[in-house]
Every structure is written in structure tokens, then in C-alpha cells.
Chain A
Amino acid sequence: MTDPLRPIEQALGDEGLFFTRDDDEDAYRVAFKSEGDRYFVVSYRDDPTFVMIGSGWALPGGADPIEAVDVANRLNVRKKFVKTALWQEESDVLFTVELCVGSASEIRPHFGRLLNVLRDTASEFFEQLRPEAPET
């Protein structure tokens, strides 16, 4: 069977990024970094038409999980493509783009845009979560 994530490798090559593969019996996985931030792409062997691009971050210490969920909800309403979710007992936040494709080659021309929107969503999430400075 052909590698369903091969077009993602090519897209990463277009972007000038290194990547590593970490496939297992359940899934195809690509891991890469951009400007030092870590990202992953996953597709499942029993459902290769599903492709997920994502990045996971630890919530900053002292962050209010209820406020974090509220920020995530607002981003989910407003942002195209990206799903923001708190997970792992609400200590982490996951940003994902989840797509259904005939082939991951359909993603290749849009990969830069999807990466940008993932990056921007994470940036906005942490910006909105940041406590406002007390008024002096």
C-alpha cells in the first residue's frame, strides 16, 4: 500500500522543514518542528482518508481551566479549520486541523496556510489566556 502521508512529507519539503516518521501498527505519523514549535500529522491505517495536523501545548501554570475552555470555545466558533481542545485533565491544550481527503496530496498546496492558522490559533489562545495587568 502506498504511504498516505507521503504528500505531507513533500509539503514539508516545500516549506523547507525537516521531519521524522513514527508509524506504528495503528497509524502513520509525521513529526516536525517549525520555528522551534513541535507539530504532528496523523492518519490511521483503518481510515487513511482522515488526516489530522496538530500541535499540543502545556497550559501555563496557574491558568484557570474554566477560562481556558471559554477561550477555546470562542476560538472554535471564530476560526476556520482549527479545533481547540483542552485534554489530559485540562493540563494541556491541543490545536488540530482535521480533514477528510481522497488523498493527502489535496492538502499539499494548502499546507502553509493550515500551518499558519494552527500557529495563529495557538498564539491567540495564549494571548487571550494571559491575565491582564492590574491597573495602576
Chain B
Amino acid sequence: MPSAREIITRFIESEGHRVDVAPVDPETGVGELLFRTRGQVFSVTTTEQDENAMSISTAYEIPDWARERHQNAEALERVHHEHPRVDFTLAHDGGLFVATLDEKAATPQELLNGFWTLVSRLRDAGTQAIEDIVDRTESKVAAEKFINSFMMGDQ
């Protein structure tokens, strides 16, 4: 019987995309597939311990000038609140973040139901996060603070 990893690989290839298949880690049983769509690389992780589950991830690079670790963590927390199924992790000293969506199904085959919808959700959340991070310039934050306090009658 084919593994979840094989089923997902065949599916993505049948949908037109090349898939890079990394060897399964013999100790953890974790395997990773990489494919590209709409200019973005996505990773699908499966594990031999649970053939009915997968994680889809994609990484976004944060521009140098926007690498404010604390504020970016807050921005990712806000986006996670709006997209609760998507988890965000800052990595590489705040130089990038990874967006991850976990999916569980009754069978490996069922993991394919709505696969592109899951990819789309992940992309939407990731895009929103990078836009929030890039939009959060000092001048914008300062302007918003000023406008808010002005509206409250402090100025």
C-alpha cells in the first residue's frame, strides 16, 4: 500500500508540478516533498508514525529594514489570530518566517481533498503577514499613534 508521501507526490505531479522528494529520515520517519506554485516554494512534510497527517509550509523572507523581531512576532500573532489554522515561526534570526498549516484526515487519500485550497489559505495568510510586516514602518506606526491620540482629544 502506498504511503501518504507517495500518494501526495503522485497527486502534485498529476496536477502539473515537479516534486523534489527528500529521503525519509530513518530515525524520525519524517519525509519532505518540495514543489513550486505561483512563484513560491512549498514543503509538504509527512511522517511514517501518522500516515493520515501532513504539514504544508512555506517561507517568506523579511526585508533587512523590516527585521524588528519583537514587532514582527506581534504582527505574526495578529495574522495567526485571523488565520488560526496557520502557525507562524520566525527563523534565521528574524530574517524569515515560516507559515505552516497542519492537516489531518481519515486516510492518506483524503489528505488530497481540497489540497490546493489549503495551499491557497497558507499563501493568503503568508501574504497578509508579509504585507503587515512591510507596512509596519516607523512612520506609519507613528502616524497611527498620532491620529489615534488626536481622535481621542489628547492633541
- Which residues of A does B touch, CB under 8 Å? 15-18, 32-36, 112, 115-116
Contacts and interface: CB of A to CB of B under 8 A. Distances in A.
18 contacts: A15-B36, A16-B18, A17-B17, A17-B18, A18-B16, A18-B17, A18-B18, A32-B16, A33-B16, A34-B17, A35-B15, A35-B16, A35-B116, A36-B14, A36-B16, A112-B38, A115-B38, A116-B38
Contacts of B39: 15, 112
In terms of DSSP, what is the predominant structure of the interface of chain B?
A: mixed
Nearest to B120: A35
Given A17-B17, A18-B17, A36-B15, 8 more contacts: A16-B36, A17-B18, A18-B13, A18-B18, A34-B37, A35-B119, A112-B38, A112-B39
Contacts of B15: 33-36
A35 B38 CA distance: 9
A16 to B, nearest CB: 3
B35 interface: yes
A108 to B, nearest CB: 13
Contacts of B16: 17-18, 32-36
Interface string B1-32: 00000000000011111100000000000000
A16 B37 contact: yes
Interface in B23-64: 35-39
